[in-house]
Amino acid sequence: MLIAVDVGNTLTDIGFYDGDDLRFVFKTKSDPSRSYDECQASLELFLRSRELDPKEVDGAILCSVVPSLEKIWSKLLLTVFEVRPLLVGPKLKTGLPIKTDNPKEVGADLIADAVGAKKKYGSNVIIADLGTATKLILLNSKGEFEGCCIGIGLSIGLDALVKRTAALPEVNLNVPKHVIGKNTSDSMNSALTYGSAAQIQGLAKMIEKEAGVPCKRILTGGYSHFIARLLPDWEYDENLLFIGLKDIFDRNRK
């Protein structure tokens, strides 16, 4: 069994692959203040709840954008499962040419997304990954990482709106039935969710214009489910990053 770990700024997603089948996914908060023991207790509780034997795991791959938690999860995988994880980075084979000014600065999560999209959808693909930040990635006609856009995510937008204004209250993120809000909560959520969907559509249109060809449109990431119904022409693929991690692991398996 393969364990694939994606440490993001908000959530850490952990997938368990049995062959080519993604059997289980475990999500936990990415809190840099959490100790090693707290992360271990959370992971072991999940393993017991799914009756998973750590000895079943014989491979691991780790993708992280949080250096402090990368160290903790690297140690956890080695301690709990007795496997040394592959770390997504410049030293691993990905099968993904990166056509940016400085390929080494491209985040491990963006690489995993792009590898997953190339594996499943081929070339000429726009990926919108809604995490802590909202990222749009272009795979060109050769299946290369052409570049991306990185902007404010839904959670950051909501947090800033509340903290930088005197009168607006804290609200839970949701999609109102109508764009025109009739109360403060709906009005805030409308601009955040419908506004994010409009931004993604607009950027995708401009990306396609620059690419010069129509592109498949894929929606993924932890916050993507909030606006998936607002983007009916986009394919919702919540496990795209795991597909990428599995493919990278297979390419580097000894």
Burial environment of residue 163 by CB neighbours within 10 A (0 to 12, 13 to 18, 19 or more): exposed
62 to 71, 72, 148, 152: CA distances (angstroms): 10, 11, 22, 25
Computed on alpha carbons and rounded to an integer, the radius of gyration of the chain in Å comes to 19
For residue 250, give the DSSP letter.
H
Provide the 3-class DSSP secondary structure of residue 58.
coil
CA 69/CA 92 separation, integer angstroms: 20
Active site residue 109: yes
- The tokens for 247 are 């493919």
225-232 — which CB contacts under 8 Å span 24+ positions? 226/130, 226/154, 226/173, 226/174, 226/175, 226/193, 227/130, 227/154, 227/175, 227/193, 227/196, 227/197, 227/200, 229/175, 230/175, 230/193, 230/194, 230/197, 231/128, 231/197, 231/200, 231/201
Indicate which residue of 109, 113, 129, 186 is catalytic.
109
Active site residues: 109
